[in-house]
Structure 1
Amino acid sequence: MSTLLAELGKHLAGRWAALLLLPGAFYVCAVTAAVVLGHAHALDPAVPAAWLDRVALAPASGRFGTVLIAAAAFTAVAAVAGLAASAVAQGVEWVWWSSGEEPVLRRLAARRARRWERAEDAVRAALREFTRSGAAPREAAALRAAILRRDAICPEPAARATWIGDRLHAVDQRVHDTYHLDLTAAWPRLWLMLPDGARAELAAARAGVGAAARLLAWGLLYAPLALLWWPAAVLAAGVLLTARRRARAAVAVQADLIEAAVDLYGREMVLLLGVDCPGRLTREAGDTATSLLRKDRTDRSRLQG
């Protein structure tokens, strides 16, 4: 047991250092650079060198206790910065998964819905031209381009405030349209019966989404430093763009894996629920399974009656 606890402690310490301490230490260094350099000497190496010399020549700098306290304070501030980034990351994920009913998010969701509708209108117009031309190569290319532009917004009608929210909502819609299965109600049961390999792939994809949210949070924390030190704006922009790309890639993988899990194991889950499904998963079986999973009042009253 002591060996197990020791190994667990090493693992947790490693994760704590990787997720909080190291990024937090870099952030503290960036804050220090912003305060010491400012806009006037943003890229002047002589200024931080002079500052370090003044710190080193201070009377207290030669005392071991002072150095120890400074190191502990630096570590504590870095850890606090890491915790702040984690809190911001939770807010970022809340915005991603939000249904878009909040006032500000509702406007963003409406804007995305209008963009999708315009893209869908362009697809319909391109389809008419394609049909009228007798499947001419030029019109076929225009139709493919219109479909790609629409699907870049969302594979299904946009209804969320962000691309990420719409991408996962599209999985719900596609599963419901194909199988009449409520994915929100079915997913906990489906997760329990997935093999270890499938769970590991889904967990890795979800971890990638969380890592992208934390990276985006760091970018948001770096942005205010641009008020003191303009290179922070470049750093923040690079971090935010990288986080956006990673988040979209991770969510796309997660969405594809969730849909694949339903395609491969949905029928097995329905059978375990006692629903008759002799062949492929049908909409009728999905309706019955969804009713059982939701434990609808109407079905309970009908069965009791």
Structure 2
Amino acid sequence: MIVTTLVTEFGKKAAERWLALLAVPGLVFTGFAVVAVLLGHARWAEFGSIGARLSGWSDGTTRTLLVAILVVAAAAAAGYLAQALGGGVENLLTGQWSRLGRSLATSLTARRRERWDALNDGEHNEERNRFALSPPIRPTWIGDRLCAPAVRVRQDYGLDLASTWPRLWLLLPDSMREPLAAARARFDAACALGGWSLLYLALGAWWWPSAVVGVALTLTSWRRARSAAAGYADLVESTVDVRRDELIRHFARDPEIGRVQGLDLTERFRKGT
């Protein structure tokens, strides 16, 4: 009975997530695509003609059902494509660029580091922290903001966040896991919105108002991603701050708590690699 209940609840949550992230935005995009095909650039505002041109598509129950199935399938396909593009948007925003952009990434990172060094004089700390909380290692603000917890945790506690985090996660109660998961979901949703923006920009080749929507979504995605990245990074670093002592007591050979013990845990977690 418990297993059945859990499976049912998981199914409900998965369906709700699919509906929110894929189905509804996909249906909206499918509607835009239909309008784009029917109107084009030349008659971009002749919305009154759409009804007449669509009336022939839904004559008969069978044809109506077929059209409905095709619309749902197109919406789902658009949703999954947007999610796939969202992965590329995440790489772009976080500065994880391909080989083609590696030289540009190196140049931008160097410029960001020069700017950070210029502000790191004790008189501009607030401005420096707004620019980056740690010495820049990525070409973008979002990339550096997400990397900052690892740099600061290693510097202050001697812990390698990449190898520490999975162990720390297992020690966290649900009350701490849920805000972290929600914060990460907000960042993922912002990147997925960037994927939708690319689809609308591409659709602008057939119907230019779609490109306007794409530009608006691009700006919204960027702003939400910055906010979500900052929130998620703060939660990750705060989680280490709050649970570091428990982590050391749980794993360390030495009962003392300090940076030396953090370095020892890093060596153990990384297993010499």
What TM-score do the two structures reach when normalised by structure 1?
0.81
Contact 1:215/1:243 (<8 A) preserved: yes
Aligned residue in 2 for 1:172: 150
Residue 199 in structure 1 maps to residue 177 in structure 2 = yes
Structure 1 counterpart of 2:144, which letter? Answer: D
Cα distance change, pair 123–193 in 1 and its aligned pair in 2 (3 A): closer
- In the TM superposition, what is the alpha-carbon distance from 1:174 to its structure 2 partner? 0.6
Distance 1:289 1:256 in 2: 23
Cα distance change, pair 250–175 in 1 and its aligned pair in 2 (3 A): same
Distance 2:255 2:9 in 1: 47
Aligned residue in 2 for 1:92: 89
Distance 1:254 1:182 in 2: 18
Distance 1:27 1:82 in 2: 9
Aligned residue in 1 for 2:69: 72
Distance 1:101 1:48 in 2: 42
Distance 1:274 1:119 in 2: 36
Cα distance change, pair 54–274 in 1 and its aligned pair in 2 (3 A): closer
Contact 1:267/1:277 (<8 A) preserved: no
Cα distance change, pair 54–224 in 1 and its aligned pair in 2 (3 A): closer
Aligned residue in 2 for 1:254: 232
Aligned residue in 1 for 2:266: 290
Cα distance change, pair 291–101 in 1 and its aligned pair in 2 (3 A): farther
Aligned residue in 2 for 1:155: 133
Residue 219 in structure 1 maps to residue 233 in structure 2 = no
SS of equivalent to 1:168: helix
CA offsets per residue over residues 149-187 of structure 1, 9 Å max, x none? Answer: 433332112111332221121111111111111111111
Distance 1:191 1:180 in 2: 18
- In the TM superposition, what is the alpha-carbon distance from 1:78 to its structure 2 partner? 0.6
Contact 1:175/1:183 (<8 A) preserved: yes
Alignment of 1:106-185 (within 5 A): 106-124=103-121, 143=123, 146-185=124-163
The percentage of aligned residue pairs carrying the same residue is: 39
Distance 1:151 1:49 in 2: 54
Aligned residue in 1 for 2:23: 21
Structure 2 counterpart of 1:207, which letter? Answer: A
- In the TM superposition, what is the alpha-carbon distance from 1:274 to its structure 2 partner? 3.0
Distance 2:7 2:245 in 1: 41
CA offsets per residue over residues 219-245 of structure 1, 9 Å max, x none? Answer: 111111222222222211111111111
Distance 2:240 2:42 in 1: 58
Contact 2:119/2:127 (<8 A) preserved: no
SS of equivalent to 1:39: coil
User: Please, which moves more after superposition, 152-161 or 244-253?
Assistant: 152-161
Distance 2:58 2:144 in 1: 55
What TM-score do the two structures reach when normalised by structure 2?
0.90
- In the TM superposition, what is the alpha-carbon distance from 1:198 to its structure 2 partner? 1.0
Distance 2:236 2:74 in 1: 39
User: Please, which moves more after superposition, 94-103 or 164-173?
Assistant: 94-103
From 32, 35, 48, give the equivalent of 1:33: 35
From 8, 11, 20, give the equivalent of 1:9: 11
Q: Which structure's CA Rg is the greater one?
A: 1
Contact 1:109/1:162 (<8 A) preserved: no
When the two chains are superposed, the root-mean-square deviation of aligned CA atoms in Å is: 2.2
From 233, 238, 243, give the equivalent of 2:221: 243
Contact 1:36/1:48 (<8 A) preserved: no
Cα distance change, pair 99–70 in 1 and its aligned pair in 2 (3 A): closer
Q: Unaligned stretches of 5+ in structure 2?
A: none
Contact 1:110/1:159 (<8 A) preserved: no
Cα distance change, pair 4–283 in 1 and its aligned pair in 2 (3 A): closer
Residue 53 in structure 1 maps to residue 65 in structure 2 = no
Between the two proteins, the alignment pairs up a number of residues equal to: 271
